Structure 1
Amino acid sequence: MKKLLYIVGSPRESASESSNIANAFLKQYKETNPDAVIDELNLWKDKIPTFDGNKAAAKMTFLGQGVLEGKLITAWDEIVEITDRFKSADEYLITVPMWNGGIPWALKQYIDTVTQADLTFGFGPDGYFPLLKDKKACLIYTSAVYGPGLPVSFGLDYQVSYMNWWLELIGVTTVHNVTLLSTAVRQSSLEQDRNLALETASAIARKHFAA
């Protein structure tokens, strides 16, 4: 029985464009995969550990700085627990609204929590290498202002480029994207663009995430 981890990156609930597109994906996904487990992780409601001093110190023990003992073990156990939840999924659905050209801080916090040496990636003489295998993801990208072809005054994209780098780092190499961009700028085509995004999300779930 396979498992989909749905990571909610927007705090706007029903007002969120990315969440509404994700719902179209999930509706089709459930029809296509009736026996699959869907684990929803809401970054704005669920407790995500703060990567504080103890956790940073615990992380550095893997690089030979200090010893993993006492309170550092407890701090590291929190990291391992949430990372194991992430690793246990076979597939991922992640909503990624653009904030200030990049990704929401809650999503960045989560990425910083689960992206750990010896857990999701390794490091050796030739640099970084991924530890995850046979995973796939669907990412929903939205923006209110930024869009391809618009002048730089409408923003730059550190959203998709960052997520692509991160997924490749940990080993999620099969990635399908759905985009709905410039929703506050291209009002004349918004309804058409929104419908296309909904249809695309549903099609991806049907064609690429079948059981």
Structure 2
Amino acid sequence: MTTTLLHLSASPRGEASESLAIARTFIDAFRAANPAASVDEWDLWDGTLPTFGPDGAGAKMRVFAGEEPVGPEDTAWHRARLAFERFAAADLYLFSLPMWNAGIPFIAKQFIDVVSQPGMVFDFDPEIGYTGLLGSRRAAVVYTSAVFGEGRPPAFGSDFQRPYFEDWLNWAGITDVSSITFRPNLAVADAEPGRVAAHDAARRAGAEFGRPSMRRAS
């Protein structure tokens, strides 16, 4: 069976994107180490990600109640399922996530809201709570931020990016997670040493990502 890596990009900046450049280094190393593997690229800004508004929310509540969505709610549910099926078809995930306003880009939150459905990403039991359904997968995440960085004063921002996203991954059952960070203070610092270090880390992680012996790293 062919292993599939799905790269989900949340940056709209194209060639100017630091997170996307680091992700490409990761993918190049992954392909070199796993020539038989397949790589699927999903630009979350390409228009294929459905919205999940009133009809979707209504469908979700019907499913929770053991009912079948109908009409516009059924259409919204079908679109969410198609997005989830593309996501679930992969064995390995790579996310490239720039920091926006201390968190993740809204398109990445939209992706989470679309695919995080009962019977898809999770099950729920009133006695034991949530159970993630994606525990057989692994993920690598590229986190970038232009100003925020570990150890910098509060005036340089807060991190609701990595804690939020890794909490969602764990909630979905994905606990084997590697992270690559590039957090230069572009206002005052030379970004090149950190950029080189991030690409080196991506190269190592990409080369190791398809190996069964991989363990959680940060």
Taking structure 1 as the reference length, what is the TM-score of the superposition?
A: 0.95
SS in 2 for 1:24: helix
Deviations 1:139-174 (A, max 9, x none): 000001100111111110000000111000111111
Corresponding residue of 2:215: none
Corresponding residue of 1:84: 85
Corresponding residue of 1:170: 172
1:23-172 map, 5 Å? 23-64=24-65, 67-124=68-125, 125-172=127-174
1:73, CA displacement in angstroms? Answer: 1.9
SS in 2 for 1:99: coil
Paired AA for residue 137 in structure 1? A
CA distance in 1, matches of 2:161, 2:59: 29
Paired AA for residue 189 in structure 2? Q
For the Cα contact (< 8 Å) 2:136–2:174, is it kept in 1? Answer: yes
Deviates more, 1:69-78 or 1:95-104: 69-78
1:183, CA displacement in angstroms? Answer: 4.0
1:185, CA displacement in angstroms? Answer: 3.6
Higher helix share: 1
Counting matched residue pairs gives 210
Paired AA for residue 102 in structure 1? G
CA distance in 2, matches of 1:35, 1:23: 18
Deviations 1:9-57 (A, max 9, x none): 1111111110110111011111111111111110111421110211111
CA distance in 1, matches of 2:185, 2:153: 16
CA distance in 2, matches of 1:12, 1:77: 30
Which structure 2 segments of 5+ residues have no match? 213-218
Q: Does 2:17 match 1:16?
A: yes
SS in 2 for 1:45: coil
For the Cα contact (< 8 Å) 1:32–1:210, is it kept in 2? Answer: no
Which structure 1 segments of 5+ residues have no match? none
For the Cα contact (< 8 Å) 1:58–1:68, is it kept in 2? Answer: yes
Paired AA for residue 111 in structure 1? I
For the Cα contact (< 8 Å) 1:18–1:141, is it kept in 2? Answer: yes
Q: What percentage of aligned pairs have identical amino acids? A: 38
